[in-house]
Amino acid sequence: MKKLYFAFGMLFGVLLAAGTGAAAAGLMAQPSVQAIYVDGERAYFTAYAIAGNNYVQLREIGRRVDFSVTYDAATDSVRISTDTPYAEQYAAAPITQPVPATTSAWTETQPQPVTAQQTVTASKTIDYSQNANPAIFTSNLTREFYNSARHAYLNAEKMAEAYDQERRKADESFPIFLSSGAMVSEQMKGVCRKLGTVFYNYDITEQSPYVYAFPRSDDDLKWPYVQKIIETAKRYNTDLEKAEYLAQTICDKLEYAYDRQEINSWSKAMENGGKAVCSGYASAFLRMGRAAGLQVLMVGSESQNHSWNIVYCDDEWLVVDLTHYDTSHKESNWFQAEHPKMVADNLAEIEFVKEVMKPHSTC
């Protein structure tokens, strides 16, 4: 039978007292900081720290360690049999779970076996989600996921420096606890793709339930003429002035490729001009804008086969469609509150990413 690095005396507390008893006592439940290992292999449990103790659902322990957990309604008791293998029907009875109080985020230490009495360091408990617009949270885009994403966004450079190709340096990240058998949602993956910054990308998988950062080669930004444009943008006083300078420079350099022929990379076109389609315009503004210190997103409509940008300037998110502006010169495509003709795909992801970049900016 597998061995778990937890004191089983503590686990009975999960069963009998962590629910209404904890709430009645006024105890605060927070996601546990500790890593849990089964036979030396990392196991992801929904765990909470209450009054200095780690609490885990007993049925999850039974599932991983392979012992049965049953509920006897006649005696209002829980029965554990280490001689009987775990089966899902054993967990069907109403076993009490910890009360998840206000959701918090947490960091991990280096993986190591833990005991029941290890405590959470208060300074490592950060709930970024309390500052976000609560309307963005859904069953797929949770507060836990927000905390992990916001932490990675704020600490991308530090995390990337500590990146380990083999382990992905998960201990630098805030874990996202997924319920047993749950899959990482496509919306989570979409948010991570949109959060990819100039020098760092974000990713999340079933094997690595974290939002983390890792180094990325960005040769497009290394050209001297591209660097000159970025440095010039940084000298402007306001974000809107920076954004307008970059947008106008991109439109001056690029020519829309109506014939879809001889399309140049956006960075190459920044030297002597060249042809591009909408994705080239939007990529140029995204990459140079973020390098200049702006908070920029690249969005699009698959049905319209079109891409454009959203940028945070002077306390509001604005839409700029450089392709349409460069070909029409209509002010409706130049830094407006909404796109004049199109609606971007995956609006829930976009609103979530906006809040990760700038909390309370979508209210």
In order along its 363 residues, the chain shows pLDDT tens digits of 444 444 344 344 443 334 444 444 455 555 555 667 677 665 555 566 675 677 777 766 776 677 787 777 677 778 888 878 766 443 333 323 333 333 333 332 222 332 323 322 223 468 899 999 999 999 889 999 999 999 999 988 888 887 776 665 556 688 887 776 778 899 999 999 999 876 788 888 887 788 888 887 788 898 999 999 999 999 999 999 999 999 999 999 999 999 887 788 899 888 888 999 999 999 999 999 999 999 999 999 999 999 999 999 999 999 999 999 999 999 999 999 999 999 999 999 999 999 999 999 998
Give the C-alpha separation, 49 to 338, whole Å: 44
For the chain, report the end-to-end CA distance as a whole number of angstroms: 52
pLDDT at position 111 is 29
Which token pair is 230?
């970025």
Answer whether 160's CB lies under 8 Å from 199's CB. yes
Angstrom CA distances, 185 to 31, 231, 248, 297, stand at: 21, 38, 38, 21
pLDDT at position 29 is 55
Q: Between vectors from CA 173 to CA 167 and to CA 178, what angle results, nearest 5°?
A: 90
Give the C-alpha separation, 193 to 350, whole Å: 11
Phi, psi at residue 212, to the nearest 5°?
A: -135, 170
Give the C-alpha separation, 150 to 129, whole Å: 9
Give the C-alpha separation, 313 to 295, whole Å: 8
pLDDT at position 89 is 42
For domain 219-357, the CATH architecture is Roll (3.10)
Lookup result for tokens 């700038």 = 358
Give the C-alpha separation, 115 to 4, whole Å: 10
Phi, psi at residue 4, to the nearest 5°?
A: -120, 135
Q: Are strands 274-276 and 254-256 parallel, antiparallel or unpaired?
A: parallel
Q: Between vectors from CA 129 to CA 127 and to CA 135, what angle results, nearest 5°?
A: 160
Give the C-alpha separation, 106 to 123, whole Å: 9
Give the C-alpha separation, 328 to 325, whole Å: 5
Residue 212 bridge partners (DSSP)? 203
User: Where do the structural domains in the chain lie, given as residue ranges?
Assistant: 1-126, 127-217, 219-357
pLDDT at position 261 is 79
Angstrom CA distances, 359 to 108, 156, 271, 289, 308, stand at: 24, 17, 36, 19, 22
Give the C-alpha separation, 234 to 91, whole Å: 59
Answer whether 335's CB lies under 8 Å from 344's CB. no
Give the C-alpha separation, 285 to 41, whole Å: 44
